[in-house]
Structure 1
Amino acid sequence: MSSNKLRWGVLGVAGIAVKKVIPAMQKCSLCEIAAIASRDLDKARQAAPGLGIAKAYGSYEELLADPDIDVIYNPLPNHLHVPWSIKAMEAGKHVLCEKPLGLSTAEVREMIAVRDRTGRVAGEAFMIRTHPQWLRAREVIQSGEIGDLRGVVSWFSYTNRDPKNVRNVAGWGGGGLMDIGCYGIFSSRFLFGEEPRRVSGTLELDPDFQTDRLASAVLDFPSGQATFLCSTQMVPGQRVLAFGTRGRIEIEIPFNAPPDAQCRIWVDGREELFDICDQYTLQGDAFSRAVLGEGPVPVPLENSLGNMAVIDAIVESSSSGRWVTLG
């Protein structure tokens, strides 16, 4: 291992980790994926060689006990995000945890308390936070080029009715709001640079899974409003539009930015192209710099708390039929 690389361990063999994040992070300048763990040792041993990972463990506990591991990447199902991230920090590891960080604001607050007590670095894996197209969109807004930002509109959808998929298991934090609606919330907060004052939302539940298959919300910010729609049973698609008093921005592939093709946004119809990059590689190095004390955590837990507060409010609003005030 190069002396300037942090040694990462991965909890589980989730598809996002094996197919996207690990291959991308192996291109990082500051990361070495040194170990992977599964509760099924055979699965870990099957995944490790193809990914060039030296160590395979048959339990998460074994990975956390490895003194050679500096940082844990946690892509487990949603209900295991906070419990295992806490165990990792208490074992002395820094943690980058997949979104949504927790199932409630109470869980996120618990994780913040453990981070503060252990002195570990922890963050949420909203990879879009480090992608150049998003940094550019916010730069345009902050420059005043499109005037004052007044509205953000986004949608994100796919189709998945597999009863065995974790996204369709209510008790594991399934449903579209947690899985992809969180992007609409995060991105609008990112662009506005503010927290919403109140939220109105509605959820439609799948009759079999009891997870939300269609969710929408209005977020009322001090400077404007944001709306989003997400679905786990709709034609696949995604888009983000930001409207100012003098112009607008459109982001073509806002969330699943391809790692092998250029991305583009339009600023008042003017196309801007971005060099090919992998947002998971950028995220890995940015978080590693934070661990090394060379930069901020891209998405700190305080930001995660703000996102989770909006998710909680949308669920409450859908149940009550009323606006929910935040803060």
Structure 2
Amino acid sequence: MAEVRWGVLGASGFARRDMAPAIHMARGNRLAALATRSPEKAEPFRSITEDLRIHGDYNALLADDAIDAVYVPLPHTLHIEWAAKALEAGKHVLVEKPVAMRAEEIDPLIALRDRTGLICAEAYMIVHHPQWHFVRELLDGRTVGRLRHVEAVFTYDNSSDPGNIRNSAETGGGALPDIGVYTYGSTRWATRSDPEEITHADIEWEAGCDTLARVSARFPAFTAHWVNSMRMLPDQWICFHGTEGLVRLTAPYNPSRFGPAHVDWRGTDGVRHARTWPGVDQYVLQVEAFSAAIRGEAPFTWTLEDALGTQRVIDMAYAAAGGRPAI
């Protein structure tokens, strides 16, 4: 396959701002088509590439024989439906996080992926950034000694945008589906471990959406505490604290916007070390990794099984807080 030809389902702002340009810039990939029922929303995509076919219907794009892979950035509650339809149409699928609203919804998609033999994965871009691979190396090398605790924060404030789909329970809104996947998933991925139990969950709700979640978990060898909010000053960081050292990331999830990708660490000698990765586009790396998986050159770093593991933790957090309120 000389190049992977992509179609995008829906003209979301995130697709226009981040993923469509990344597809266009990624080596061996081409943005070929967009499906949207609103022609005016298609125009900004033409500034990325003029050679873009516009379909007025999602199914029309899935029927397009000139498309190899489909990117699904639709509202959260539509991810499973359209990822499945894309697989049934013979397309490889990169679906935005979270893949589903509950863990049990992901199992049938895994089965469909296996039956079709196509690549289907969650767009979890952070694991394609070299800062996270470096953190894994530090933890695997026991730079921190015995890991005892992980602390992570990811917050922003969208209270001034009540029409945002993240503020709507009907479209799968809430802090944990949107950004809890990062604090929870990055802890799991970096440590290669899953929590045994949620020991504390304090969640605040607005119209059926969790707007502030303070959650603690116990893993087999360490504890974790995560704070996620859609009603707080924007902030993000994560710290891995052990018996002999600690590792901290100051822009773990959105280094392109929140600051440079930066990891610092120190041990018992008190000497501080730091490493920074300027100018890395994790979205481009994600697209290139996905197309490499399609070509059979390398396995994709983040599987549906990985997404399933993180969704299980989110489900555990909601259950520990008494469950989601009725809408």
Question: Shorter chain as normaliser: what TM range?
Answer: over 0.9
Task: Tell me if structure 1 keeps the 8 A contact 2:87–2:113.
Answer: yes
Look up the match of 2:135: 137
Task: Tell me if structure 2 keeps the 8 A contact 1:128–1:255.
Answer: yes
Equivalent pairs counted in the alignment come to 315
SS in structure 2 opposite 1:26? Answer: helix
Distance 1:259 1:159, change over 3 A: closer
Look up the match of 2:203: 203
State how far apart, in whole Å, the 1-side matches of 2:31 and 2:196 are.
Answer: 41
Could you list the runs of 5+ residues in structure 1 that have no partner in the other structure?
321-327
Q: Offset of 1:261 from its aligned partner?
A: 7.0
| CA deviations over 1:237-276 (Å, ceiling 9, x no partner) | 1111111211001101010111797421101131212242
Judge which range, 262-271 or 163-172, deviates more: 262-271
* RMSD between superposed Cα atoms in Å: 1.5
Look up the match of 1:251: 249
State how far apart, in whole Å, the 1-side matches of 2:194 and 2:258 are.
Answer: 34
SS in structure 1 opposite 2:64? Answer: coil
Look up the match of 1:294: 297
- Does residue 220 (structure 1) correspond to residue 218 (structure 2)? The answer is yes
Question: Which of 85, 90, 93 is the aligned partner of 1:87?
Answer: 85
Aligned counterparts, 1:267-278, within 5 A: 267-268=265-266, 269-278=272-281
| CA deviations over 1:97-153 (Å, ceiling 9, x no partner) | 111110111211121121122221111111000101111111111011221222111
Look up the match of 1:98: 96
One-letter amino acid matched to 1:107 = E
Task: Tell me if structure 2 keeps the 8 A contact 1:151–1:224.
Answer: yes
One-letter amino acid matched to 1:69 = I
Look up the match of 1:323: none
Task: Tell me if structure 1 keeps the 8 A contact 2:251–2:260.
Answer: no
State how far apart, in whole Å, the 2-side matches of 1:63 and 1:18 are.
Answer: 17
State how far apart, in whole Å, the 2-side matches of 1:307 and 1:117 are.
Answer: 23
| CA deviations over 1:174-194 (Å, ceiling 9, x no partner) | 010110011111011012101
Distance 1:314 1:262, change over 3 A: closer
Look up the match of 1:174: 173
> So what's the TM-score if we normalise by structure 1?
0.93
State how far apart, in whole Å, the 1-side matches of 2:258 and 2:61 are.
Answer: 32
> So what's the TM-score if we normalise by structure 2?
0.93
Could you list the runs of 5+ residues in structure 2 that have no partner in the other structure?
267-271
Quick one: percent identity of the two aligned structures? 38
SS in structure 1 opposite 2:321? Answer: helix
